Amino acid sequence: MDLVSTNIFIIRISLYVGIFFLLSSTILFTMIFLNRLRIIRKHKKEEEFTNKWRPILLENLYKVPDSLEPVPAKYNIAFLILWNNLQDVLRGKEKEHLNQLARSLKMDQVAFKMMNSRKMVNQILGILVLGNLKESSSFDKLKEIAEKSNLTLSMTALHSMAKINLEKTINPLLSFIKERGEWPSYKIVMILDEIGSSIFSQPLADLIKRTKSKEQPVLIKLMKFADSEIAKTLAEDLLDSAFDPEVISASLGLLEYFGDSRNIKIIERHLNSDLSFIRMKAVKALSALGSLEILPILEKSLTDSDWWVRYRTAQSIISLPMVTREDILKIRDRQNDKFAIDILNYVLF
């Protein structure tokens, strides 16, 4: 190809590609605009549907009607979203009436179909509806989804399983928690909350005892949402037997959270730990008890070799109820250790 034809070739290619982009942009823009108009119209119609059906649902909360006009298929999603929202705010018999109403409209079948849909958004909605409906025939399918799916679907499925059958959910949930390390704790807590501490506390405590120390700290933190007596007993047992500093720290954190003065002795032992972060955790756990009994114990930690332990100790002393500035000045004046005097001065002035 000679120079001139090469030049012409490049110019032509540029022109054609440029025109292609311009045309594509025009077509795409038209599509976007029409789609936006379609969405606005759809939202408007859905809003009209919701405005019509909200009063119908509210009217029928106390008594299930003999007959209701069917929901057109194109409004199934709008209906289920509205129905789910109501489920979230209702308690007791009204919830059951709402379920009967949904069944009479064959929404259980719609939810089953949605659960098996290829669109994840629909799947989530279907799963949530089946959970709210307490549809026991969906339990095994939900368990399968919880086992095999991604985080979002698994968690949603577990949420619904818990609503359908608490006792049957706890064991699969605990085994999933252990197996699937990618599950964030805050999402697990939401499901545990659904199950209720009276049901999950003991099985979770047993699971923690059986788990390797490396995996224990994350699970111990979940015990904050458990029954306090079971959680405290677990923490005491672990503090008696554990060697792993992370496990000790998490257990002290648990005692700090529940703050029971019966645990003073067991916490105090860890003020002598070789690790400063354990000592600091012990100081925090003691200060959470908020009783004057701990004052003489804390005073000893004012002379700790680590600045942060001394600082947290001084802060804890200051925050104790009924400890006045004069009391702290007295504590300061009876100290012989220069560091202890310094840190008290530091937090005082």
Partner 1 sequence: MSLSILVLIFQINYFFYFVGINLYYLFLNISALFVINKHMEEKPLFNKLKNYSGFELPVSVIVPAYNEEKTIVQTVLALLQLKYPEYEIIIVNDGSKDETLQVLIERFSLVPYPESYKRSLETQHIYNFYSSTTHPNIKVIDKENGGKSDALNAGINLSKYPLFCCIDADSILSTDSMNFVVSKFLDDPLTIACGGTIRIANGCKVVNGQVVEVALSKNILALIQTIEYLRAFLFGRLGWVPLNGLLIVSGSFSVFKKQAVIKVGGYSTGTIGEDMELIVRLHHYHRTNSIPYNIAAIPEPIAFTEAPEDLSSLRNQRIRWQRGLSESLSKNIDLLLHPKGGTVGWISFPITLFFEWFGPVIEFSGYIFFLLGYYLGIISTEALVAFLILSVGFSLFISIITIILEEISFKVYPRAMSIFYLLFAALLENLGFRQINTLWRLEGIFSWLFRTRRGWGTIRRRGV
Name the residue among 285, 331, 334 with its Cα closest to residue 309. Answer: 285
Pick the binder of partner 1 from 73, 167, 296, 349 (CB under 8 A). 349
CB of 69 to partner 1, least distance (A): 28
Binding to partner 1 in span 151-170, by CB under 8 A:
151-152, 155-156, 159
Binding of partner 1 by 319 (CB under 8 A): no
- When asked if residue 58 is in the footprint of partner 1 (CB under 8 A), the reply is no
DSSP 50: H
Choose which of 71, 80, 115, 124 interacts with partner 1 (CB under 8 A): 124
Q: Cβ distance 257 to 224 under 8 Å? A: yes
Q: Is 6 exposed, middle or buried (0-12, 13-18, 19+ CB in 10 A)?
A: exposed
| Interface with partner 1: number of residues (CB under 8 A) | 51
Name the helix (H) or strand (E) containing 286: helix 276-287
Q: Which of 32, 292 has the CB closer to partner 1? A: 32
Q: Choose, by CB under 8 A, the member of 141, 168, 180, 221 that binds partner 1.
A: 221
Closer to partner 1 by CB, 159 or 270: give it: 159
**Looking at 6, 171, 198, 233, which residue binds partner 1 (CB under 8 A)?**
6
Residue 206 near partner 1 by CB under 8 A: no
For residues 172-201, which are near partner 1 according to CB under 8 A?
Answer: 184-187, 189-190, 193
For residue 18, the minimal CB distance to partner 1 (Å) is 3
Q: What's the min distance (Å) between Cβ of 147 and partner 1?
A: 17
In the shown chain, the binding pattern of residues 226 to 265 toward partner 1, with x for contact by CB under 8 A and - for none, equals ----------------------------------------
Q: How many CB atoms lie within 10 A of CB 297?
A: 17
CA distance 111 to 129: 6
Give the tokens for residue 128.
Answer: 């949530």
Torsion of CA 60, 64, 69, 73, to 10 degrees: 90
Please tell me whether residue 13 binds partner 1 under the rule CB under 8 A.
yes
Least separation in angstroms between CB 98 and partner 1: 18
Report the residue from 79, 83, 200, 225 that binds partner 1 according to the rule CB under 8 A: 225
- HSE of 10, CA atoms in CB hemisphere, 13 A: 6
Which is closer to partner 1, CB of 34 or CB of 56? 34
CB-CB contact of 232 with 258 (8 Å): yes
* Long-range Cβ pairs for the range 125-130 (8 Å, 24+): 125/77, 125/80, 125/81, 125/84, 127/153, 127/156, 127/157, 127/159, 127/160, 128/84, 128/156, 128/159, 128/160, 129/80, 129/83, 129/84, 129/102, 130/160, 130/164
Q: At what angle are helices 245-258 and 276-287 packed, to 10 degrees?
A: 10
Q: Would you give the distance in Å from CA 245 to the centre of its chain?
A: 26
The reply on whether position 40 binds partner 1 by CB under 8 A is: yes
Q: Rule CB under 8 A: is residue 35 a binding residue for partner 1? A: yes
Q: Is 86 in the site for partner 1 (CB under 8 A)?
A: no
List of residues contacting partner 1 (CB under 8 A) = 3, 6-7, 10-15, 17-22, 24-25, 28-29, 32-33, 35-37, 39-40, 120-121, 124-125, 128, 151-152, 155-156, 159, 184-187, 189-190, 193, 221, 224-225, 308, 311, 346-347, 349
